A = this chain, B = another copy of it.
Amino acid sequence: MKPNKNYSSLKESYLFSEIAHRVADFSKANPDAEIIKMGIGDVTRPLCEAVVDAMKKSSEDMGQAAAFHGYGPEQGYDFLREKIQSYYKSFDVTLDLGEIFISDGAKSDLGNILDLFDKDNTVLIPDPVYPVYVDTNLMDGRKIVFADANEENGFLPMPQDDVAADIIYLCSPNNPTGAAYNKDQLKVWVDYALKNKAVILFDAAYESFIIDPSLPRSIFAIDGADKCAIEFCSLSKTAGFTGTRCGYTIVPKNLMAEDMSLNKMWLRRQTTKFNGVSYVVQRGAEAVFTESGLKQTRENIAYYRENANIITKALDELGWYYTGGKNSPYIWLRCPDGMDSWAFFDKLLTEIGVVGTPGAGFGKNGQNFFRLTAFSTHENTEKAMAKLKKLFS
């Protein structure tokens, strides 16, 4: 048997293990030092009451013969798909129920969607970037070209007419930079994709952090996107589902690749290689979109947003360049004095006990940048920013 040799071209990602290693070394040498973690990309607030109640109730149902649920539809229960349909409607995007596929999270579907594409396609990926876009394509041996995201373009690269691409990744609001495209910018991408017969894989995992009404929450708010885009979203950040696992993927019925319907292909892929998300989890996800669920999850997002405000206020006072924080839980800052991101990491760790994520871990354009996240507590975020300001002023 011949293995898939493309796996040998994958580099090990040492980013988070290297961070953990340096933090452990520092803690060992300084057992009394307080460490404030501002690098984590995971939520910290518990599931809201509406979700917990729905999961308890449905767990109980599963123990009763009359209410038990066996195999469900691979593409998800209509009770949840209808809620997502209404959610999109709330920001003026109309979806057919058959375009909504329930997933166990955006990461799974972002990887699995590549089953639908030939290996012989050129992939365009912004740099810096969420590393799985690159790794999943390396696993298939596809050619990758990068779009530079940098201070010049506000970390929002636009298409270049001299670059040919077949598969385009966009993440907005972005991980790791927090930068978000407006409608005009996304329209340029959609037009470029239509012209080049390319498909846009749009990662909307952070859409729930958008407050600026001029920013689209979905690529399908853009005319023509239903003919060139697939959207991935998740309840991980929307409702704290990082450990509960539920998301959704939108594959428009108008989306064709040559003479093949990507919607039909994805349905076939999912019915063949997936058995749907747990009934109990889908009932929990349904509760997110009820009146009480929306209210409760938005309170959690408001809590994180307040942390982002604390961070951006401190950076404004320091006069540092950054993106994100307004419509995103991530703040991407330029390290002061032209510092390298790992040197800045070490300085924050050893001098004020604050842990962030070096931008170099997200690509070459992250070399002098640093990511802070809004997922800590108010108290710790305040404390960390006070220390940061003291250190640099």
Contacts and interface: CB of A to CB of B under 8 A. Distances in A.
B121 A1 contact: yes
Contacts of A167: 1
A319 interface: no
Given A62-B46, A243-B278, A245-B276, A104 B104 contact: yes
A206 B4 CA distance: 29
**Chain B CB within 10 Å, residue with most, of A62, A68, A107:** A62
Given A62-B52, A276-B245, A118 B4 contact: yes
A257 interface: yes
Interface in A261-284: 262, 265, 268-269, 272-281, 284
A151 interface: no
Nearest to A262: B3
Contact of A279 (B48, B72, B135, B243): B243
Given A135-B272, A273-B136, A3 B258 contact: yes
A65 B45 contact: yes
Q: Interface size class for chain A?
A: 35 or more
Interface string A98-116: 0000001101101110011
A116 B7 contact: yes
A227 B100 CA distance: 42
Given A242-B71, A257-B3, A268-B7, A275 B52 contact: no
A276 B246 CA distance: 11
A10 B273 CA distance: 14
B2 A111 contact: no
Given A139-B272, A243-B278, A245-B277, A121 B72 contact: no
Given A62-B243, A107-B275, A111-B272, 5 more contacts: A46-B67, A49-B63, A55-B55, A243-B276, A245-B277
